[in-house]
Amino acid sequence: MAAAPPGPGPGDVERAGALMAAARRITVLTGAGISTDSGIPDFRGPQGVWTKDPAAAAMSTIGAYISDPEVRRRAWRSRLAHPGWDARPNAGHAALVELERAGRLHGLVTQNIDGLHQRAGSDPALVLEIHGTMLEAECLSCGLRTPMPEVLARVEAGEEDPPCPECGGIQKSATISFGQALREDVLDASVAAARSCDLLLAVGTSLTVHPAAGLCGEAADHGARLVIMNAEPTPYDPLADAVVRDPIGEALPLLVAAVTGGPAG
Ligand SMILES: [Zn+2]
């Protein structure tokens, strides 16, 4: 008879729930895995967009975007077709709204650009979009921000690469591309939320992209417990107090129910 494999087992949701119930200030870090149930594909997972199509990753490099008009035209077409426009928040997003209502959510740092936390009802003041948002366009010259649907309407009307209405500069979605600096105020607030929590819950992120992944170390260094919920192993699993591999849409509501005492789901 084979020995049980090492690593996470069926008891880990319970262990994670007990840690969550004991915590007072929970900071949550979310990645693509929480939005896949909403029909938005992961980029870096085994079936990820960038894993399967490196050309799509090149489109997200700021240098190529600025220097190559064809990259920009392709990027605008891809924004028009983004599955995020039809996406609805799912049970995972809803569970984090419940955690907030229970008074335990200290901060919500997300690597996602889809705005689904806010649409689910999370307080926008608590949501730190470390990789920006697809819901706005930003001028790379003057910084003007415009609601993305307004710019996409121009694309649909025939402008293949619509310039900034103020200064004529190149516009891009207000997301952080490869080679582009993160916004310092958002990063500072995220680090502060990680350092001042007593439990950090990382959900649906491979924890391979810094500085977001480094928030786990920041939290642990400042005495917080660490719970990781992700389908695949992450480099921070050895540091975690509990690791949950179960599907997020099922397991996250269970963890939050352990906090609120409410029904699961
Ligand atoms: Zn401009």
197 labeled binding residue: no
Q: Identify which has the larger pLDDT, 265 or 191.
A: 191
Q: Name the catalytic one among 106, 117, 131, 222.
A: 131
Q: Give the Cα separation of 265 and 255 in Å (integer).
A: 10
Ramachandran region, residue 40 (left: φ > 0; alpha: ψ -120 to 50; beta: rest):
beta
Q: Is the pLDDT of residue 27 over 70?
A: yes
Give the CA distances from residue 256 to residues 29, 134, 216, 227, in Å, rounded to whole numbers and listed in that order.
15, 28, 20, 13
Ligand 1 centre distance from Cα of residue 145 (Å): 9
The pTM (predicted TM-score) of the whole model is 0.90
E-strand stretches of 9-152? 26-30, 105-110, 127-129, 132-139, 145-147
Per-chain mean pLDDT for the chain: 91
The values of phi and psi at residue 255, to 5°, are -65, -40
Q: Indicate the DSSP class of residue 228.
A: E
210: confidence class by pLDDT, cuts 50, 70, 90: confident
Read off the amino acid at residue 114.
Answer: D
Write out pLDDT tens, residues 79-90. Answer: 999 988 999 999
Q: Give the Cα separation of 100 and 122 in Å (integer).
A: 7
Q: How far from each other are the two terminal CA atoms of the chain, in whole angstroms?
A: 36
What tokens were used for 58? Answer: 């090149």
Q: Give the Cα separation of 257 and 17 in Å (integer).
A: 8
Active site residue 93: no
**Inter-axis angle of helices 184-195 and 214-221, nearest 10:** 40
Quickly tell me which residue has 């699993």 as its tokens.
237
Write out pLDDT tens, residues 166-200. Answer: 999 999 999 998 888 899 999 999 999 999 999 99
216 labeled binding residue: no
Q: Is the pLDDT of residue 4 over 50?
A: no
Report pLDDT for 259.
Answer: 95
Q: Give the Cα separation of 230 and 204 in Å (integer).
A: 5
Report pLDDT for 50.
Answer: 60
**Domains of the chain by start residue, with CATH:** 9-40+89-131+182-265 (3.40.50.1220), 43-86+132-175 (3.30.1600.10)
**Mean of the pLDDT values across residues 97-106?**
98
Ligand 1 centre distance from Cα of residue 89 (Å): 32
What tokens were used for 99? Answer: 């955690």
Q: Is the pLDDT of residue 11 over 70?
A: no
**149 contacts 234 by C-beta, under 8 angstroms:** no
**130 contacts 212 by C-beta, under 8 angstroms:** yes
Sheet strands side by side (includes 171-175): 145-147, 132-139, 171-175
139 labeled binding residue: yes
Q: Give the Cα separation of 200 and 215 in Å (integer).
A: 9
Ligand 1 centre distance from Cα of residue 220 (Å): 41
Comparing 41-45, 235-239, 248-252, the range with the smallest average pLDDT is: 41-45
Read off the amino acid at residue 164.
Answer: C
Report pLDDT for 2.
Answer: 43
Q: Is the pLDDT of residue 10 over 70?
A: no
